[in-house]
Structures are given as structure tokens and as C-alpha cells.
Amino acid sequence: MQARLLLEDGTLFTGKSFGSEGESVGEVVFNTGITGYQEVLSDPSYCGQIVTMTYPLVGNYGVIRDDFESVRPFIHGFVVREHEEVPSNWRAQYTLGSLLKEYGIVGISGIDTRMLTRKIRHHGVMKSLLTTSNKSVAELTEILRGTSLMTDQVARVSTKSVFGAPGHKERIVLVDFGAKSGIIRDLSKRDCDVVVVPQDATAEQIRRLAPDGVLLSNGPGDPKDVPHAVEMIKGLLGDIPLFGICLGHQLFALACGADTDKLKFGHRGGNHPVKDLASGRCYITSQNHGYTVKEESVAGTDLEVTHINNNDRTIEGLKHKKYPAFSVQYHPEAAPGPFDSSYLFDDFISLIRQHKRDNPEQPRQAQMLAQWKASTASSSVSKEELQYAKK
């Protein structure tokens, strides 16, 4: 079956359909990974996007459920040069085409992905329509113009309820803006008691879970579309150690008074060089984002730049000068190095332990008594009753 990809500048690509039949509108982007197409498909950060793989052969090792980064794919379309229908891999459980059919995702193969990638690099990411229908180009153009790109991706991909991955050490509240499973795996390796909460959890709700630290996850879209998360971070900053990844990094920056902006074509792939300014060491990182923290906006805040991208000098890491909080734009759980950046999870746990040493907590009983006193101070409790309670 024929499939077509129409860009908002009028460019039309015609190829072969694989996966589901149908029609989808999204932002067309490209990923430079040589392997890892199933991790790309299952990364919630791609919600609302039509993903182009620059590596020419995709599907050759099939699909392995154990390697997924979320329960299901969230992308709006998949574009490849050559789709291998019969995988050769002893671990493969089913084919790429069957995965796309299962979740209603349209795929297109047999087009010039090099030309498409060069166009995106030159003109920037753009709205596009991927379809298997027989509608005329004029009809497709009208549909594309009349459809707006979504702005509620975080709400779509986030968990709707609290759940846990029990451990015996530090309790980490993971705020799910579209969290990859790898983040939970890395925390669980360190025996952390992980509690995952929805993206709209308030600071007060998070405090009630008695966390030792809060991890702000990755996620899709523009950080400015999630203003409630910025307010939540402001409510926790300084009291509880924070660690932000990708979208969490951008939200952390906004909460501290910095600003974000959209990149021309984003960073998506597993080979982005990032320099640690403290050590001078360069790390190979996995990235998937279309927005960045504006360098000039950091001046005048309490933030310090810790990492930069060696390709375009954009900010890749921040830390707070006064509070126990830091963030990175890339994915330390993705292991492209393979484990170059996993030390960041250890740094987070070390930060939590240092914060505990510097700020010893009162015994629980004393805390509850203080809360009771505060609640009764404005009530009609008599002085004699208060004296009795103290005894």
C-alpha cells in the first residue's frame, strides 16, 4: 500500500506503507541513532512527533518487549529508508510492522530520508501529515493547515495514579512528565524506594510522601506548556534535593528564573558530545529534546552552568548555587557510552545524604507535636487543655 508524507512547506514524499493504515499529523523530526529504534518508539518524549530515522535500515532485529522504555509507543508516525519485514535476531518477539499495527501508528518506507533530514536541518522541524489514504494533495494540504500541533503531550503520557518500585534506601519521588523506564531501573539498582507520581502533583502532595529526594523526569513538548510543574518545583526548592533530566532540566531552569527557547531541529540521537566544565571531560550522551535553556537567561539567577554541548555550545547541565539541586539536558539512564553518565544518579544520592547530615530532622513525634500545636493555636482550645497536652 502507498503512503505519503506531506510537509507544511508543500514537499511531498511518496513511499510504501508499513504498520497501521490511517492518517496522522505531527511535528516531523529526525533521530541519528544507528540502533535503538524500539527505544525511540517507546520513549514518551516523542509524543506528537513523526520520527525519521537517519540510519537506512530499520526493523532488522525485530522488537523485544524487555527493551521498551514505556508501556506503549506514543509517536505519531515512523519514517525509514528501508523497512526489514523479516528480522534476524534470536531475542526478537515480533516485527516492527506488527508493533505499529498494534498501536495504530502509520509507517512509511522507501523515501529519501537523507533529503528529508537535510531539509529539516536547513529549514527546521515542521508540521507534517502522514497518510495511507487516497485523498488529493489539495485535501491533505487543507487538513494539515487546519490541524494544530498538540500542547498537552505531558498530560497524555504521564501516569494517572501513584505507584511504587519498593527499595530499602533513599525514598525518591519521581515526577512522571513522560519518564523512561531506564530512570526507574537506575534508581532501583541503587536500592532506592521509588514512588512515581503524576505530572500534576503539587508540592504539598509530594511532601506528604516524605521523600529524601525528588527526580524531575524527561517528557515531551514545550516546558512552558507545563506551568503547574514550575510552581511545584518552586515549592520544593531548597527543602528537598532535586535532580532534573531533559524536560525536568528545563522546568528546573524556569523555576529558578531562567528562560527556554526552541531549537531549530533539536538534539535526537545517541552520539551527542557533552563537556563537563569542572573536569574538562567529554561524555557521549543520548538526547531527545527540541528545547534548550537560553544561555543569556542564566545570568542574574542562582544557577551555574555545569555542562555544555560540544557541537553547538548549548547548555547541557545546571546546578543551584545555594540549594541541593542540579539537572542535565541529556539522558544518563540511556547508556550510549555505555555507562558514562550513570554517575549522576550516584551524585544525586550523595547530595541527598549530605543534605540529611547538614539538616538533621526532628524525631517524628516532635514533628507531629509541632504540627498539632500549630493547628490548635488558632482554635478555641483552652490554656488548661494545652498544658495537659504538654504533660
Catalytic residue numbers, as ranges: 246, 331, 333
26 annotated among ligand-binding-site residues = no
250 annotated among ligand-binding-site residues = yes
Residue whose C-alpha cell is 523515501: 111
Strand partners, 288: 268
Separation between Cα atoms, residue 17 and residue 66, nearest integer Å? 27
136 annotated among ligand-binding-site residues = no
Contact 221, 153 (CB under 8 A): yes
Contact 103, 73 (CB under 8 A): yes
291 annotated among ligand-binding-site residues = yes
At 116, the amino acid letter reads L
217 annotated among ligand-binding-site residues = no
Contact 201, 231 (CB under 8 A): no
Which are the contacts of 192, defined by CB distance < 8 A and separation ≥ 6? 167, 169, 170, 171, 172, 349
40's enclosing H/E stretch is helix 37-41
Q: Give the dihedral sign, CA 336/198/222/28.
A: positive
Kindly list the strands in the beta sheet with 242-245, ordered across the sheet, starting from the edge strand earlier in the chain.
163-165, 193-197, 171-175, 213-216, 242-245, 325-328, 315-320, 303-309, 260-276, 282-293
Which are the contacts of 201, defined by CB distance < 8 A and separation ≥ 6? 175, 232
Contact 75, 50 (CB under 8 A): yes
219 annotated among ligand-binding-site residues = yes
DSSP secondary-structure letter at 336? S
Point out the annotated binding site. Answer: 45, 219, 221, 247, 250, 288, 290-291
Known binding positions for L-glutamine: 45, 219, 221, 247, 250, 288, 290-291
